[in-house]
Amino acid sequence: MKINFVGNILGSDGYSNHCRGLFNALFQLNPDIKLDVPLAHGWETQVNDAELAALTKDNRIADITIAIMTPPFWRIAMGDNTKKFIGFCVWEGDKIPQYWLEYLYDPQVDQIWVPSQHTKDAIMNTISSKGDVVSEEFEKKIKIVPHGIDPSKFFDKPVERKSEDFTFLINKGWRGTTWDRGGVQYALRAFCEEFGKDEKVSLLLKLNPAYINPQMIGKSIDALKLPEDRPEIKLNYGNLTQVQLNDLYNESDCFVCPTRAEAFDLGSAEAMATGLPVITTNYGGQIEHMDKDCAWFCDYDMSVVTEDLQYEGVKWAIPNVQKLRELMREAFSQGVSTREKGKNAKKFISSWTWMHSAQMAVKFLEELK
């Protein structure tokens, strides 16, 4: 089967990690793939053998094109060089933007892939909010192809701990605002309000530099006006290799993700693969790859997003900071129970691999042959 795969594999954001993970697994099952991605100077040093082979493959008429990008850009990827087209729609809030429906309804779109039931529900909620009826034919076009982890790159291993402190880890993109979707601001507040500086606990904040200028991190934290009598907050904002990132997970005791909305959340899945339990908001696509035996779920309220125009009319969760404090205290205090949750997390996420995602993808590709 000749496949064109359109997206970006060379960035450090969520879309790039998604593209790279799914492509490499899919390539093992069907190597006749051409990669169509934006290339920058020096790209040859950033790709593996499979990616190089797919990037240098000659242009041809593809049987199917898979485009991982927001729906308004799908038509750019369609062109006249493919027989069938699949658009991968990733979304976090309770509804997708209404104007996206035009692109999802396009008769040239043969399937719509989403990473979670949460994203599928968001599409359905938007259709219902318009008073439209979801046709059976349209709903059948929507296929859930979840994200995954690479068990060869994310796993638990013995490491020499740099500190005896119980370490909470946040690995998230944060733009430094008080309303940001990832919820870093809530984790910082809960941690600083719950724990005193004399307690043997610390917070490791790993931020993606694709979302914030490192020079602004200190000012953004100061703007939250957090209590000064607080434990240490350790900052890491480098572009880490997967080996370095795996080490970071293994140096921690609990992953914290009080997100406002997620389509899937790769960070929590990676953390679980290294044996970390998770504290997260009980809303979003991430709760589909964990349960109460490996995670704590924080209460929340829903709120309309007013700070970002592309989310007009969309709601995100606001995690309950007091409840978040209680859950972090529980994780810190109940050492044996917390470690047991971590073991359960590793077992739970073991089947959520990129290869499993690729196998599901192939099944849906076969339906279009």
- The burial of 234, by beta-carbon neighbours within 10 Å (0-12 exposed, 13-18 middle, 19 or more buried), is given as middle
Element housing 358 (H / E): helix 354-366
Task: Give the per-residue pLDDT at 329.
Answer: 98
Task: Give the per-residue pLDDT at 264.
Answer: 98
The Cα 91–Cα 15 span in angstroms is: 11
Helix (H, G, I), strand (E, B) or coil at 206: strand
Q: Nearest-CA neighbor of 302 among 287, 283, 285, 325?
A: 283
Task: Give the per-residue pLDDT at 208.
Answer: 83
The Cα 202–Cα 191 span in angstroms is: 9
Q: Which residue has 């069907």 as its token pair? A: 30
Q: How many residues does this entry show for the chain?
A: 369
Question: Going residue by residue through the chain (369 aa), what tens digit of pLDDT does each one get?
Answer: 999 999 999 887 888 999 999 999 999 999 999 999 888 888 888 899 999 999 999 989 999 999 999 999 999 998 888 999 999 999 999 999 999 999 999 999 999 999 999 999 999 999 998 888 888 999 999 999 999 999 999 999 877 777 789 999 999 989 889 999 999 999 999 999 999 999 999 999 999 887 888 888 889 999 999 998 999 899 998 888 888 999 999 999 999 999 999 999 999 999 999 999 999 999 999 999 999 999 999 999 999 999 888 888 899 999 999 999 999 999 999 989 999 999 999 999 999 999 999 999 999 999 998
The Cα 108–Cα 123 span in angstroms is: 18
What domains can be seen in the chain, in order of their start residue? 3-148+354-366 (3.40.50.11930), 166-349 (3.40.50.2000)
Say which DSSP state 4 is in. E
The Cα 66–Cα 6 span in angstroms is: 6
- Name the pairing type of β-strands 233-236 and 33-36: unpaired
Is-contact 54 5, C-beta < 8 A?
yes
Percent helix / strand / coil, the chain, rounded to 5: 40, 20, 40
- Name the pairing type of β-strands 315-319 and 300-304: antiparallel
pTM, 2 dp: 0.94
